[in-house]
């Protein structure tokens, strides 16, 4: 069974991560979800606990769990997927910032762990040279595959590239990466 660690970050597309979990489970993947604080403003951990049938990791310092959770979670998966990946998360990953559970897992993960990043954000943000530079840094690690956002009407009401890629495309990329 493929083990997928799914990072859900704080954009409106976070609700689509629920479908991603369901479809991965339909393909016999075991999914553990890590949510940033901002993601929890859009979708509750309970949604992902029900769909994944596993506890959701939400904080770096869990007083109920004496283990070093970021290390345990970094060692567990066959593939790490971040969907949606916000501009903030891409920047933190690209620059080695580790101020929450997901970014700490990113730094603690073994170098050969495949990583699928599915960005979603406003078009102007996606096209910002700083965001594109961060994407290039991440691609330069040799471990990341970026599934670019698609063009459509965005939550802000504008048309353009920035919407999360279609869930089946992300599922296929995740499973292919895990298979090597």
Query: Catalytic residues, which ones?
Result: 156
Alpha helices in 40-122 (DSSP H): 45-52, 69-75, 87-94, 101-108
What CA–CA distance (Å, rounded) separates 84 from 144? 15
Copy the structure tokens of residue 180.
């090597």
Closest CA relative to residue 117, chosen from 11, 38, 30, 29: 11
What is the Cα Rg of the chain in Å?
15
Non-local (6+) Cβ contacts of 100 within 8 A are: 36, 37, 59, 60
Non-local (6+) Cβ contacts of 146 within 8 A are: 117, 118, 119, 135, 138, 139
What 3-state DSSP class applies to 36? coil
What CA–CA distance (Å, rounded) separates 139 from 146? 8
């Amino acid at each position: 069974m493929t083990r997928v660690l799914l990072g859900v970050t704080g954009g409106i597309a976070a609700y689509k991560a629920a479908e991603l979990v369901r479809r991965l489970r339909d393909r016999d993947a075991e999914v553990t979800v890590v949510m940033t604080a901002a993601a929890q403003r859009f979708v509750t951990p309970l949604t992902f606990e029900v769909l994944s049938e596993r506890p959701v990791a939400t904080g770096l310092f869990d007083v109920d769990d004496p283990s070093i959770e970021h290390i345990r979670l970094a060692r567990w998966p066959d593939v790490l997927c971040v969907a949606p990946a916000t501009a903030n998360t891409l920047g933190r990953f690209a620059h080695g910032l580790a101020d929450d559970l997901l970014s700490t897992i990113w730094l603690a993960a073994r170098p050969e762990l495949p990583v699928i990043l599915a960005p979603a954000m406003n078009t102007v943000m996606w096209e910002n040279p700083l965001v594109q530079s961060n994407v290039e840094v991440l691609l330069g690690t040799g471990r990341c595959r970026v599934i670019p956002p698609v063009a459509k009407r965005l939550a802000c009401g504008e048309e353009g590239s920035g919407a999360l890629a279609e869930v089946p495309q992300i599922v296929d990329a995740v499973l292919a990466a895990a298979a090597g």
